[in-house]
Chain A
Amino acid sequence: MASPNDLQFQEFEEAAQLLSSNPGASTLSVSTSNNSVSAEGRSEEVKLDLSDEEEAEQESSELLGGQKPTGGFWTFEYYQSFFNVDTTQVLDRVKGSVMPLPGRNFIKHHLRSNPDLYGPFWICVTLVFTVAISGNLSTFLIEMGNPAYHYTPQFHRVTVASIVIFLYAWLVPISLWGFLSWRQGVERQVGGYSFLETVCVYGYSLFIYIPTSILWIIPFEWLRWTLMVVAMVISGSVLVLTFWPVVREDTKPMAVSTVAIIVALHSLLAIGCKMYFFQTASHISPLPPTTAPIQIDTQTTHFGSTLN
């Protein structure tokens, strides 16, 4: 009687003790309801315990967002703790960055005190190559009808793109984290995130730009601007939804200006990438050849007159 229930509820010690005290048949139905109630109670207790542990860890090790590093920074295990994610977790975080719902803080809901460096790093690398390759392809498509155009791979763009994107994805979170920590010191109510969590949010928020830059190959200006606005809204809202609850406690001007600067920098990145890598048709069209000889003639006559 008791053994199947024991097998079913082995992890709940209280339930097992209850069953062992009441091994009768009548207790089966009662015990299942008891066990289900106690299971829920237990799971609630477990959830509470976890959140307490999370808070304690966050208070103790601010720099690493609750991840107690194993070993010093010179050991390999220290860095391995930043890659403690599974495929499903990474996919879930990517989905969360693409579909920001109001009320769902990316850090609290998706990261859950397990920030990783895998996502930010590989999303940045992918974005670098996507932007460079798509820019090259879009130039090629625009110039395809032009007989004077000779295709070049424009490989230097990869270097430029990597510098810009990696600087953005690392310097901005560092400065934002520093700024928030300073405000946390000045105004006690302002909350803060750890450095890794900030880097993580910024890295995952860049994900939406990858399909956007691929779609930017299509050479219609109105489509490009529409796509850019959509991408900026989505990824900007991920950042705003994450940082507004933290900054809200600050004085009004500071809070609004902080969020405004975050959004402005993000838009600057998007617009800058678009302008540099994806030039429009009007920028590249060459001057018509008929005007050139006329200019040369006037110049030679001018020189002739001065020499004389």
Chain B
Amino acid sequence: MADDASKPFAGLADVSISEDIAVEGDISVPVGTSRRDEELSTLDEPVKETVLRDLRAVGNKFVHVLYPKRSSALLRDWDLWGPLLLCVTLALLLQGGATETQEQGGPQFAEVFVIVWVGSIVITLNSKLLGGTLSFFQSLCVLGYCIMPLTAALVVCRLVLLLANNAVSFAVRLLVVSASFGWSTFASTAFLVDSQPPNRKALVVYPVFLFYFVIGWIILTFSP
């Protein structure tokens, strides 16, 4: 028994103590050489590949928001690129409202950012304080990605406003914004609600509802 135990150690002791063996190269892991090749290959790959990989992940999450099922893509592999893209698009498209004074107009670029990000952070803190189990960034990721229907509605609204600015166009815009607001709220609750304690679900859903309602209101009242 002692021999069996000491044999591998005896071999290793010889290897480590000996001074002939060069102290360089890889850790002697059985599949060491192939792993080194893989790591070098991601360093060597063209930048396009690296960027496309992240873009594909973001696009995949957009698809998951379009058809909200209880999938783990949004939760497990969270990222904040999508929310950032959507927020910048939203803020840029909300520029250009004609106003007499600067005060009377819609939200400025920075105000949109503040509303979206501070609102998401407050809702995330609220759900965590009420005992939710999602992590901070997972929740931010879900809330940010679910703004996508509202951003699409804003694009549609601006196109409609290019055509006409009367009661009919207002009715169309109202319909589009209401539908996308409902879609956003439904998608985000589908992802968030499972991680909340059972008798507090309404307490967590209401701030999400308010958040998307305010963004929908800002989109609806945009007047060029």
Interface residues of A (CB under 8 A from B): 76, 79-80, 82-83, 85-88, 90, 118, 122, 125-126, 129, 133, 136, 150-156
Contact = CB atoms under 8 A, between A and B. Distances in A.
B126 interface: yes
Interface residues of B, number: 30
Interface stretch (B38-46, B67-75, B82-90, B195-203): B195-203
Interface string B120-139: 00000010111100000000
B210 interface: yes
Contact of B100 (A79, A126, A152): A152
Interface of B: 97-100, 103-107, 111, 126, 128-131, 199-203, 206-207, 210, 213-214, 217-218, 221-223
B139 to A, nearest CB: 15
29 contacts: A79-B129, A80-B131, A82-B129, A83-B129, A86-B199, A86-B200, A86-B203, A87-B199, A88-B199, A118-B129, A122-B206, A122-B207, A125-B210, A129-B213, A129-B214, A129-B217, A133-B217, A136-B221, A150-B98, A150-B100, A151-B221, A152-B99, A152-B100, A152-B105, A154-B103, A155-B106, A155-B218, A156-B103, A156-B104
B120 to A, nearest CB: 14
B104 A152 contact: yes
Given A118-B130, A155-B111, A87 B203 contact: yes
Interface on chain A toward B: helix, strand, loop, or mixed SS?
A: helix
Given A83-B129, A154-B104, A118 B203 contact: yes
B111 A80 contact: no
A20 B76 CA distance: 55
Contact of B202 (A83, A87, A126, A156): A87
Nearest to B99: A152
B200 A87 contact: yes
A132 to B, nearest CB: 9
A125 B119 CA distance: 11
